Chains A and B, each alone.
Chain A
């Protein structure tokens, strides 16, 4: 695995989230180290996606604090969190279906390039962004689909497109919500390679059910159960932990 410093890039303390009295996340402390690929795993209903939504500020925490590089982002709007370099993907592939594949990526490039609010200029002002967009699309293997409507892409390609748009922001912390969900075996191998490739020099947090993928990719694993941390460590550590085995009993290892 790549060289890792020991500073947490993303940290949450005493994180709580309640839904109508139900505590989905209960006093959770978590630290994500710079340069790691960090997996959140756990049985269904463990609160993985909620934690994920809290970390990206998609939903606000009931209490607790979240720090990005030591800066408190607990009350920061989601759009601003994205501007700080923390960018997420979604479980249901998040693309702009009526735009073409290239346009999807261009939309992501527009804001950093300062080309998002001009309403008097022609769309031709965006032409300089297309070169970079093509590179990104190439890097996820979508060149052949560049001018197709994103809504028509097959499932696996949509996920790849989503990664390309996420990368367009050159984030240094990437949160991937079940990037393998609903994929066939071959697509999964491609996606593992893609994540390994894009993770170079970045920090990645991923929710993942496929433990095979977790064991191949991740430096560190946090196991959640009932909104709390059950175990944390390398994949070998946590998979040997009897409490983890108990929590997963019946769910089966991949």
Chain B
């Protein structure tokens, strides 16, 4: 980046010594980025307003807009101007199918399932496009009419970029007019308040829902076509953007259309200016603003007051089995784990253990506190980096290196917790996702982390000075012992006086407050414990595979652990471990397969959310309960209002 190099030279001098051209140039880039943030967060806000779905596939739909424009030109010779209409229409059609076939089925479930479903869709869309088109960017020329520049002396404005900003403003205004000033818009606003009431007035709410989702997706695709000539057309262009847009939405608040637009532009400009004055921070400045807003105005800049919901989202119920059924299962599992390295490649078996612990750590939050964290990779990967550095550079013994990782993960967890814990449900998920992405950028830039290479050839060392971890069996049994102890500790915490209050907080937060409990402190405690355990898993993983890399801190890793838990059974104690094993094995065997891994992962997400919400262990528990003849128990689970 020439700009960054430039400003490093002049770093340290006062503001007036920055060339005005540099400032104006970055300001322009900021306005353009802001235009994209504005249009995308507008689309998210419109969809969320009525459907209560956070559309994770928004980034993928933006990418599809750009890719469709490129495909139209390349294969049909259709140019920019028709594509500006055609591409959104095509993506809108796809969105219509998605809404009708998939989203529709989950409206009456917890809102978090909408996020998980669209997350899966995003993986499928991006994974298949990447497989088909390759990850490399493809150039797309701006229309002839808009080439050239306007030279204003202090700033040179390419005409196409001016067009982007004006097109974005026009679209935002049009959407605002549609929603605030037309009859359809008034139905929409009314349905946002009370859908069933509007339905009794004779408004066809299902069509309204479809139309809203299509509109939101078309906005994203329109932004994608606008972006095609200035950013390269790439299957990955949306996934980076969407998380930044989440941060914008959280900072701005979901309250209003104007809020989304104003925050989008403002944060884009702020980001551009940061590139001038402190380029190292430019990738994280939006996340920092989000964090500050959360501290001082939790509802967001334009958001309404945070209304505490009466019942916390009961996403999962703890599946309980009688001791009689549990003991034989536990014995079989223990025997299997002890014998595993004799028939499974020991290092692979050790890796399974690490992910099992990671998933159990995550489940502590979702299953027992009802909080969906989408940022757990920060703890897992952050700890992995520190452990790797401590082992390789500082030459610490493994037990100390692990401890260092766990301490760091707990510290990051504490900061995340302070920022996120006051928000619930969907917001909590978005905030943790954005904070996780901030940690990702930190490790991407931190010199010690080795950039794209990561930290390789990490020595394993001698555990407690006497166990040589280079021996695969010694490694396996050491990790098994540590993971076993960690799970035993988790079990105890869940079944402690503290654990019983956690259960109460999950069931009904307001009631817990009215009984005198500071629920935030309990949630924060659980969050830090979960982060520490995830960190432990990350440390152990580094010792096992001897590499710490950016993969460990990406949002995809956070998504992976969500899927492991969902597949295994949220809120069941051992389900997440089973899910972790299944996913790791699937991915291992898929490595040489033609279907790209994200598509499989995404497909599993969609299937789990739509038809398999209890997960593997949850289903087994149901079966055993019914077979065990304890009829009341089986009936409880069937009639209880909570799902999974």
Contact = CB atoms under 8 A, between A and B. Distances in A.
Count chain A CB atoms within 10 A of each CB in B308, B493, B516 and give the residue with the most.
B516
Nearest to A118: B497
A106 B500 contact: yes
A123 interface: yes
A18 to B, nearest CB: 11
Contact of A151 (B498, B504, B640): B640
A116 interface: yes
Contact of A169 (B495, B500, B516, B636): B516
Contacts of B151: none
Contact of A116 (B304, B318, B517, B639): B517
A122 B494 CA distance: 9
A65 interface: no
A49 interface: no
B226 interface: no
B318 A123 contact: no
Given A118-B496, A121-B496, A88 B514 contact: yes
Given A88-B514, A90-B511, A107-B515, A98 B317 contact: yes
A110 interface: yes
Nearest to A129: B497
A233 interface: no
Contacts of A151: 640-641
B272 interface: no
B514 A111 contact: no
Contacts of B642: 97-98
Nearest to A91: B310
B499 interface: yes
B511 A111 contact: no
B501 interface: yes
A120 B525 CA distance: 13
Contacts of B511: 90, 94-96, 165
A90 B495 contact: no
A119 interface: yes
A2 interface: no
B126 interface: no
Contacts of B516: 79-80, 82-83, 87, 111, 169
A125 interface: yes
A87 B642 CA distance: 28
A123 B317 contact: no
B514 to A, nearest CB: 5
A contact residues, range: 35 or more
A77 interface: yes
B530 to A, nearest CB: 13
B365 to A, nearest CB: 15
B318 A98 contact: yes
A30 interface: no
The binding surface of chain A is classed by DSSP as loop
A122 B513 CA distance: 24
B507 A123 contact: no
Contact of A123 (B495, B504, B512, B529): B495
Given A79-B516, A149-B640, A95 B508 contact: yes
A152 B639 CA distance: 9
Interface string A146-167: 0001011000000000000100
Count chain A CB atoms within 10 A of each CB in B493, B497, B513 and give the residue with the most.
B497
A176 to B, nearest CB: 12
A97 B507 contact: yes
Contacts of B308: 58
Interface in B395-433: none
B640 A96 contact: no
B contact residues, range: 35 or more
A134 B205 CA distance: 49
Interface string A86-118: 011110101111110001001110110001111
Interface string A23-67: 000000000000000000000000000000000101000000000
Interface string B312-323: 001001100000
Interface string B289-310: 0000000000000001000101
B514 A90 contact: yes
B104 interface: no
Count chain A CB atoms within 10 A of each CB in B507, B510, B515 and give the residue with the most.
B515
A233 B508 CA distance: 36
A90 B641 contact: no
A119 B499 contact: yes
Contacts of B229: none
B500 A123 contact: yes
A77 B519 CA distance: 11
B629 to A, nearest CB: 18
Given A79-B513, A108-B515, A117 B508 contact: no
Contact of B518 (A20, A79, A126, A169): A79
A78 interface: yes
B471 interface: no
Contacts of B499: 119, 123
Contacts of B514: 56, 58, 78, 82, 87-90, 94
Contacts of B519: 79
Given A77-B518, A98-B317, A122-B495, A107 B504 contact: yes
Interface in A222-246: none
Nearest to A108: B515
A112 B194 CA distance: 41
A170 B218 CA distance: 58
Contacts of B498: 116-119
B492 interface: yes
Contacts of A123: 495-497, 499-500
Nearest to B493: A119
A20 B304 CA distance: 9
A118 B492 CA distance: 10
A110 B500 contact: yes
A80 B317 CA distance: 29
B30 interface: no
Given A77-B518, A111-B515, A116 B508 contact: no
B500 A94 contact: no
A24 to B, nearest CB: 13
B503 interface: yes
A116 B499 CA distance: 8
A19 to B, nearest CB: 9
Count chain B CB atoms within 10 A of each CB in A92, A118, A123, A165 and give the residue with the most.
A123
Contact of B515 (A58, A82, A126): A82
Contacts of A169: 515-516
Count chain B CB atoms within 10 A of each CB in A97, A99, A106, A149 and give the residue with the most.
A97
B490 to A, nearest CB: 10
Contact of B500 (A92, A97, A107, A120): A107
B450 to A, nearest CB: 37
Interface string A164-191: 0100010000000000000000000000
A207 to B, nearest CB: 15
A98 B503 contact: yes
Contacts of B495: 122-123
A239 to B, nearest CB: 32
Interface in B567-586: none
Contacts of B504: 96, 99, 107
11 contacts: A77-B518, A78-B513, A87-B514, A94-B511, A96-B511, A99-B500, A99-B503, A107-B500, A117-B497, A118-B498, A122-B495
Given A58-B514, A99-B507, 10 more contacts: A90-B510, A94-B508, A95-B507, A96-B503, A110-B500, A110-B501, A120-B492, A121-B497, A126-B500, A152-B640
Interface of A: 20, 56, 58, 77-80, 82-83, 87-90, 92, 94-99, 103, 106-108, 110-111, 115-123, 125-126, 149, 151-152, 165, 169
Closest 5 CB pairs of A and B: A82-B516, A96-B507, A119-B498, A94-B511, A107-B504
